[in-house]
Each structure stands twice: as C-alpha cells, then as structure tokens.
Structure 1
Amino acid sequence: MAGIRVIDLTSVVFGPYATQIMADMGAEVIKVEPPAGDNTRWITEGPVPGMGGIYVNVNRGKRGVMLDLRQEQDKQTLQKLIATADVFIHSMRGSAIRKLGFDYESVRALRPDIVYTNCYGYSRRGPEGDKPAYDDTIQAECGIPYVQGLMNGEPGYVATIMADKVAGLHALYATMMALFHRERTGEGQEVEVTMFEAMSSFMLVEHANGAMFSPPTTPAHYHRAVEKNRRPYKTRDGYVAALVYNDKHWNAFMEAIQPEWASDEFSTLEKRAKQIGRVYGLLGETFLTRTTQEWLDTLQALHIPCAPLRSTDDLFDNDQLNAIGFFEDVETAQGPVRFPGVPTWFSATPGKVHGPAPMLGEDNAEVLAELEENAEAIAEDAHASK
C-alpha cells in the first residue's frame, strides 16, 4: 500500500484495527483525534498516561494529528488533508459526521475519486442506523451470549472483543476492494461496514445450519459447536485440546487407544455427529487416564490434531511464533515495545510494523508544514502555467 494516504477518523478498535493493517502494509495513515484523544488511550495500562496497550497496538505506524473539528480553522485543515488523500475512514455516527460537514458528498467534493469508508454499529439503511454500538452489545445482538448459554448453561460474552476485530477485518477488505475498483476505473465510492451485519454474517456461517431451509430442518445453531462437553479435555495433570473427529482420526484413535469402540454405532462421522455429546463424554473419560504430555506424544504420533492449553502470556515465548520472527521490537519514546507482527506473508511485498503509535497531536507541526509546502507548490505550478 505504499503511496496510499489514509485519513483515519476512527477510534477504539473497529476502525483502528483496519487502518493498523493498512499501515503495516505501507500506507501512510494519518490518525486525526479530538483534543480529548481516542478513548482507547486510557482504558489499558501503558508506560505513560495516554499510551495504553490497546491504543499503542492498533495505532502503530500511524502519524498523529489533533484537530478540534468544532473550530473552523481545524475543519479547513482536515479539508486540505482530504484533498491529498486516497481513503477517508471514520467511525462516527452518521448524524455526527454530517453535522461536522464531512459526509460522503462533502468529502467527495474535495477529492472526487476518494474511497470513503463508514464504520458503523448498524447499517443506515435500517431502523437502527444511528444507534450507538459497542462490542458487548453487538455480541448480544448477534447471538454470541445465546450460543455460549447453550454450551455453558448461562449466557456469556466470549473473552475477546470479537465484534470489533471481525468488523475491522471487514472494513479492511471492503476498503481494499474499493481501492482495487478505483485502480481499474478511476472511480471512487462510498463504503459502509457495520458491526451488527458483519457479525451476523460471521455467526451464521455455521449457526444458520438447517434454519436456512424452507421449512427449517434444525434450529439456528451448529450442535457440535454448542455441545457442553466441547472443551479442553482434563488429563491427569492438566488439560489438552484434541479433535478426534473425522473417520481417519477416529479409526487411528480407536485402534491405538479404545479398540472396544469398534462398533457400527460410531463407525462414521455422520453417526458420531448425531450423538456428539455422548462421543465427547466418552473421550473426556478416556483423557483422564494419562498426563498431558503422554497424550500429546500419543496423539502427535497418530497425526491427530492436538495442542497443549496455553495462556495468552505464553504466546510471547512460543517456539513457532519466535521461529518465524512474528514479534517485532520497536524503540519508542516510552521505551521498547514488542509488537505482535504481521500475520500474513508475501514473497514480494512483506508488511512490517512501521513505527510506534503517535502521542496525541505528535505530528501536527510536521503535517501542517507539509500542507503549506503543498499549497505553495500548487500556487507555483499555477503561476508557471500562465
């Protein structure tokens, strides 16, 4: 994305995660914040106030500009920036961005071929289009606590801000598709990405199940995913994750570990799927008989997918991640930061962490000076052409 300039008026995680990936892939991302700053600066710990871990991670490699868009002079500065940009992306509600004068029509008047990406909670085309949204409320709307309740007996959120991150990935690919269209045709366009619709699509990949048919053949959930016994198996000294699932894995496990299960009752994946709770229960009893390491050794020898149960702290000292150079150490004004790096690989155009996250308004002077230089160059060109 080298040579692409992105004006980023997003906050929290949804939009910033999308633009963080753009920055990792070489785009120049200018993050525009109000005087109070992005709320994510303050919600987790960091080495100095206003530089919390989540903020630093999803805003790495960006330039930071602070503008008070209630002030006419700062509005004019943003207008000048937009005129130089390829992408404008924001996460304000539709009514708020219109009130400030930076809706699509206004921005397109400044840069006709711009890709303009709206990051909303709900689509403007529906009755809840201007409703505020956060990860917890969207998880509830799209059925995550419900399916967690089917599994655990009590509704609950998943322990990650899934809706923000899934929607962020949707915003990334949607913006890239619009840029690809512009590359071929020269035409910019407006893009809308919403948390609710993105997560509804995400959840219904498997949970639509038989509810897609007319008449429905099952409720809208995937029974294996919500089975209460689907969890890491307890061993004699800990836990192990294993999926003794398809016929190849099942037959290998049966032959080596449980030959007495060699009956027609469990002979095919289809038959096991219809009684998956019982199958998980039987496996759970069996896994109690050995230690975690004994099971890992046995399952790996049988080529059955398995893994030890690790913590998120363990990721920072993981042999696989360290072997591929996943983490990138970056020196910042607040000290060294070990960033989780780019998770995709390209043979010709690899990404990288292009620097630290900006302090609030850190690049104001530099960006304003560049705008002034750009205005002078345009004026000189106009004078020379006369």
Structure 2
Amino acid sequence: MPEPLPSDATGPLKGLRVLDLTAVVLGPFCTQMLGDWGAEIIKIESTTGDIVRNSGVYRNRGMASVFLGINRNKRGVAIDLKSSEGAEVLRRLVPTVDVLVTNIRPAGMARLGFGPEQCHALNPRLVFAVATGFGQDGPYRARPAFDEIIQASSGFADIVGEEQGRPVFVPSLIADKVTGMQLLSGVLAALYHRERTGEGQLVEVPMLETLTAFLSVEHLGGLGFEPRQGEAGYKRLRHRKPAPTKDGHITLLPYSSANWVAFFTMAGRADLIETLSVKDPVRRNANIDAVYAAMAEIAQGKTTAEWLALCEEHDIPATGFTRVEEVTEHPHLKAVGMFEMHDHPSEGRIRMAKPPTKFSRTPANIRRLAPRLGEHTAEVLGELGFTPDEIADMRTRKVIRQA
C-alpha cells in the first residue's frame, strides 16, 4: 500500500515561493523540480486548463498521464487573467513570491500588464524567469515554438536521421525537457545572485539557443575551427549502434584503450589490437568505422547474457536493452524504488518516477499530487485577502474555476 504523503517540504528550497505561469511541458517540468526540491509552487491556469491536461492516457478527462507526470507538488488556481479581477489576483500574488516562471510569450505577458518591468515594480527582489522559443534579440523572437520546431531548427533531427537520409524526430520531448532543466539552472543562479546582492533580475532561456548549445558540444565538430577542420558532427557517435548477438542485441561500449584491448583479447581476436590501432585513441578514432564493424561482427558469436557476464568480469561498459513496457521492472530501478505508487484523490492509484536527485541533509519529497483544475483557487485567493463573498461572486461570473 502507498504510504501517506508527507505534509511538509523537506528539500533544500523549502521556504521558497514560486508563481508558476507555465503550461504544456517545458515550464511545468522546471517548476515541478523546484517543487520536488522544497519550493511552494502556485500554478496558475486559465479556466479551461493547461492543454496538456488531455495529453497521454487518462481515467478522467483533464487528468491525463503527461499532466500527472509534471505537475506534482503544486497548488492549482484557475482564473481568467484577462479579467480585471484576474489581474488583481496577480497584482497581489507577485509581491508574495520569490520567483515567477512563465513560458507565455513576452508580448503576451506585456499585454496582460505583467512584463518584467511591471512585475519588478511590484517586487524588486523578484526573479522573473521566462522560457522563449527563440531569443528576444533575434528575428524569430515572436514565432511560436514547440518541441519538434526546435528539434528541426537546431540540427537535432538532422543528426538523428542521418543514417536514414532524412530528418527524424527523437520520440521524446527532448527540447522541452533540456530547456526546462536549463530554466531551472537559470532560476537557481539568479537566486544565488539575489542572496548576495538583494537584486532580482530577468532570466531568459530560449529553446533554440539552448538545444543548439546542447548539440554543439560534440556535433559542432570541424565547424569549431576557422578555417573549418573537416565535417560537422561527431563521427564516433554516428557509429554507435546496438550490436546483434546470438539471441538479441546488446550495447557494447568499450571506451578506454584498456577496454578495447580487453574486449578483443577476451573475444579471441587479439590480432585486431594492432591491426585496428585500438591502443592509440587518436588512431582508433580515425579508424572508428572499422573498429565498430569488427565489434559488431564479433558480438554475433555469443548470447547477450554471455557478453554481459564477460564484460562485467573485465569492467567493460555494456548493457542489454530495456523495453519501455519493462522499465518499471528494471532490477536496478526496482532496487532503488525509482517508481512510487500513490493514491490520487480523483485518479486513484497512480505510478510516477520519484525525484532522482539526492540531497543528504535536505531530501526531495512528493507531498502533493497533480491538482485538479482550480483545486486550490479559493484557498489561495483567501490567503490573498479576498473574502468568501468576493470569491463566490468571481466563481458565479466564471472569472475563476474551482474543482
């Protein structure tokens, strides 16, 4: 049986208060991590709700699997921000928080009257963090952006689909989640600056620039030199593929020179150590096509289990393949309790991955499950000084929504 949720935060950000004006995946992924690490998160949605509420599988409309996976540890408020009352709610909220996180486009926030300048006038210590599709100093500043747009624009889809001869999207929201983690880092860095100086500031994290920088680490290649030294891309990664075995596939990843020597020796092909120059990393990388081709051919001579046993004996990186359907049964993940079961008040028994980052003195925890639309509207508005009659009136006029 799932244990009852703890009532209080234990993470290192306990006491931090965050106003979450994000939707879909990028922003909520960032704010969930802040919440996992102890921050109090107040999530603002429109009265129709975050569109990702219906993404994935669900028992009840509006509480789909993707929403459940990135909106825990938050209180949910549903309000029409375009109304005068909605604007008043934000005017009261902004001075009470340490951080405002949004992925509403800057022009949209300005139209609402809550751009960085207006918010800093209300709260000079505020860290105002915005995720954009494209940097606001460039010609694409006003364009809409979603994950596939950024995979396509950054070169990511080109690299993934190189072998097929056409662009291919990674079937994961890689641009959203990488940018979400960068947004988290930006928020924490700005908070550190504020701790030392008392100054709030604007943090902008653009998706295209973030994923391009992420990809460029290894794939800028020859373009990193002027004049260029060869082609873009990282040749060695292009040739990393699952190796076929007698009964399936394996990931064989000899990495160091010692690994390669041990691999060819235990495979009974010590002759290839000199032939393929595997002792010299520069010559090995120059000859990587032949090195990986030889490994793939050799791998077919044993079963996956046999290779795994040999690689463990010789400390060579290797693993079998886990199907997505089987990931909850992975022996290591089961041993560390990676997936937790919880009883959601409206969705019943649900499974989710726990916060993966470990803090020895201030552990992250899950203390709230994803809120129903408007679940905490009346609670938060009451804390801001709105009377029960005012809240009831706003509800009647559909300015707010309550679960």
Q: What TM bracket, shorter-length normalisation?
A: over 0.9
Residue 259 (structure 1) aligned to one of 267, 270, 294: 270
Q: 1:197 aligned to 2:196? A: no
Q: 1:235 aligned to 2:245? A: yes
**Corresponding residue number in structure 1 for 2:23:** 11
- List alignment gaps of at least 5 residues for structure 1: 375-386
**Corresponding residue number in structure 1 for 2:124:** 112
Structure 2 CA distance for aligned equivalents of residues 319 and 149 of structure 1: 32
Moved more, 257-266 or 352-361: 257-266
Spell out the pairing of 1:154-169 with structure 2 (5 A cutoff): 154-169=166-181
CA contact (8 A) 2:250 2:319 kept: yes
Question: Kindly, what percent of the aligned residue pairs are identical?
Answer: 37
Q: How far did 1:63 drift?
A: 0.3
Structure 2 CA distance for aligned equivalents of residues 202 and 3 of structure 1: 32
**Corresponding residue number in structure 1 for 2:111:** 99
Q: How far did 1:373 drift?
A: 7.7
Residue 325 (structure 1) aligned to one of 329, 337, 341: 337
Spell out the pairing of 1:126-137 with structure 2 (5 A cutoff): 126-137=138-149
CA contact (8 A) 2:276 2:290 kept: no
CA contact (8 A) 1:245 1:269 kept: no
Aligned residues: 372
**Corresponding residue number in structure 1 for 2:8:** none
SS across alignment from 2:383: helix
Q: 1:43 aligned to 2:55? A: yes
CA contact (8 A) 2:127 2:190 kept: yes
- The code of the aligned residue for 2:58 comes to G
Moved more, 348-357 or 133-142: 348-357
- The code of the aligned residue for 1:70 comes to K
Give the aligned CA root-mean-square deviation in angstroms: 1.4
Q: 1:363 aligned to 2:373? A: no
Residue 92 (structure 2) aligned to one of 70, 80, 83: 80
The superposition leaves residues 330-383 of structure 1 with CA deviations (integer Å, 9 ceiling, x where unpaired) of: 221111222101111111011012220001111001111111189xxxxxxxxx
Residue 301 (structure 2) aligned to one of 276, 279, 289: 289
Q: How far did 1:276 drift?
A: 1.3
**Corresponding residue number in structure 2 for 1:250:** 260
Spell out the pairing of 1:52-63 with structure 2 (5 A cutoff): 52-63=64-75
Structure 2 CA distance for aligned equivalents of residues 356 and 149 of structure 1: 38
CA contact (8 A) 2:32 2:70 kept: yes
CA contact (8 A) 1:23 1:354 kept: no
Structure 1 CA distance for aligned equivalents of residues 317 and 276 of structure 2: 23
SS across alignment from 2:77: strand
SS across alignment from 1:356: coil
CA contact (8 A) 1:20 1:61 kept: yes
CA contact (8 A) 1:31 1:64 kept: yes
TM-score calculated relative to the size of structure 2: 0.90
TM-score calculated relative to the size of structure 1: 0.94
SS across alignment from 1:284: helix
SS across alignment from 2:367: coil
Q: How far did 1:99 drift?
A: 0.6
Structure 2 CA distance for aligned equivalents of residues 89 and 263 of structure 1: 56
**Corresponding residue number in structure 2 for 1:340:** 353
SS across alignment from 1:193: strand
SS across alignment from 1:263: helix
- The code of the aligned residue for 2:271 comes to E
Spell out the pairing of 1:23-34 with structure 2 (5 A cutoff): 23-34=35-46
Structure 2 CA distance for aligned equivalents of residues 183 and 5 of structure 1: 15
- The code of the aligned residue for 2:274 comes to S
Spell out the pairing of 1:366-385 with structure 2 (5 A cutoff): 366-372=379-385
Moved more, 327-336 or 50-59: 327-336
Q: 1 or 2 for the larger relative contact order (CA 8 Å, sep ≥6)?
A: 2
Q: How far did 1:315 drift?
A: 1.9
Residue 367 (structure 2) aligned to one of 354, 371, 375: 354
Structure 1 CA distance for aligned equivalents of residues 238 and 263 of structure 2: 24
The superposition leaves residues 241-269 of structure 1 with CA deviations (integer Å, 9 ceiling, x where unpaired) of: 11123211111112111123132542422
SS across alignment from 1:338: strand
Moved more, 77-86 or 320-329: 320-329
**Corresponding residue number in structure 2 for 1:377:** none
SS across alignment from 2:282: helix
- List alignment gaps of at least 5 residues for structure 2: 1-12, 388-403
**Corresponding residue number in structure 2 for 1:172:** 184
Structure 2 CA distance for aligned equivalents of residues 171 and 261 of structure 1: 47
CA contact (8 A) 1:7 1:30 kept: yes
Q: How far did 1:113 drift?
A: 0.7
Structure 2 CA distance for aligned equivalents of residues 242 and 222 of structure 1: 18
- The code of the aligned residue for 1:310 comes to T
SS across alignment from 2:384: helix
The superposition leaves residues 161-199 of structure 1 with CA deviations (integer Å, 9 ceiling, x where unpaired) of: 100000000000100110111111111001101110110
Structure 1 CA distance for aligned equivalents of residues 30 and 372 of structure 2: 19
